[in-house]
Amino acid sequence: MSLTDTELSAPEPSRAIVFWRRYRRNRAALLGLGLFIVVLAMALLAGVVTPGDPLARAGAPLTPPFQSWETPLGTDQLGRDIFAGILYGARISLLVGVAATLVAIAIGVVIGALAGYFGGWVDDLLMRITEAFQTIPNFVLLLTLVAIMGSKIEWITVAIGIVSWTAPARMVRAEFMSLRDREFVDAARNLGVSNGALIFREILPNALPPIIVYASVIMALSILLESALAFLSLGDPNYASWGNMIGQGRAVLRTDPYCAVIPGIVIVLTVLSFSLVGEGLNDAANPRQKQ
């Protein structure tokens, strides 16, 4: 068999391989992926690297960084290990980010799918509700929901998801409006497929790719919102949180700024990682748009 025949008979690369090749062309996206892997490793290995309670006293209060191997990043005003707080705080941030994103996307998909598929008065009603939510600043609405539901981490996560669903809803609505009259939908409708099956089995799988890409943005915003609540002492005090660390570090900001600066830097890098990963996913999913 000649070389030309071999090349012609070689199997085409899978979609996953093609997607990864497009993704890795963006060096910033690779940097974001690397940062995300570091944050994920911090969350997974927190109990191995720093076993015990991260809120327990680990040394003398306000020990500067790099003074002791036991507390490499120093201690706060209560003598708690900042390094342990950073590692365990990664768990809270990823937990809140993922769970709040799932809540936001679930609400947005349902509302956007119903509005985009049925149109008419259903679309008008659901879009008016969406616009009503958008008229209230996210953080103001979040403060209201936390004041009503409480400051447990579970309720905070749900509240963040509730204030973040409007953008996914509009994206899903736009996708459904462009897909509901396609040939494959008409063919399924002529076969007697129900509206529910058309929405969730035929149209939704084709409308999800841009929503999956946008999920990285929601995760970044969720981490920022949780940190902002904790900074205002509205977070759950029973968990180590980067926002809690910054809020408590305000009291010694002038004398020992590292108590607030270190978790602040970690938050910035984590949010940056999600932003860069989202940009890379968008470029890989829409190569023509980048051109």
DSSP 190-210: HTT--HHHIIIIIIHHHHHHH
What integer pLDDT is reported at residue 7 of this predicted model?
45
Locate 185 and state its tokens: 């939908």
What integer pLDDT is reported at residue 232 of this predicted model?
86
Residue 228 near residue 139, CB atoms below 8 Å? yes
What integer pLDDT is reported at residue 8 of this predicted model?
47
Q: What is the dihedral of CA 213, 155, 134, 140, to 10 degrees?
A: -120
Instruction: Tell me how far apart the alpha carbons of residues 283 and 288 are, in angstroms, rounded to a whole number.
Output: 8
Return per-residue pLDDT of the chain as tens, 291 residues: 445 554 444 466 777 788 888 888 889 999 999 999 999 999 999 989 988 889 899 889 999 999 888 899 999 999 999 999 999 999 998 999 999 999 999 999 999 999 999 989 999 999 999 999 999 899 999 999 999 998 899 999 999 999 999 999 999 999 999 998 888 888 888 888 898 899 988 899 888 888 888 898 899 999 999 989 988 888 888 888 898 899 888 889 889 999 999 999 999 999 999 999 988 888 887 765 554
Residue 230 near residue 242, CB atoms below 8 Å? yes
Residue 115 near residue 126, CB atoms below 8 Å? yes
What integer pLDDT is reported at residue 188 of this predicted model?
87
Give 160's strand partners: none
What integer pLDDT is reported at residue 261 of this predicted model?
93
Q: For 22-52+81-290, which CATH class?
A: mainly alpha
Percent composition of the chain: helix, strand, coil (DSSP 3-state, to 5): 75, 0, 25
Locate 54 and state its tokens: 């991260």
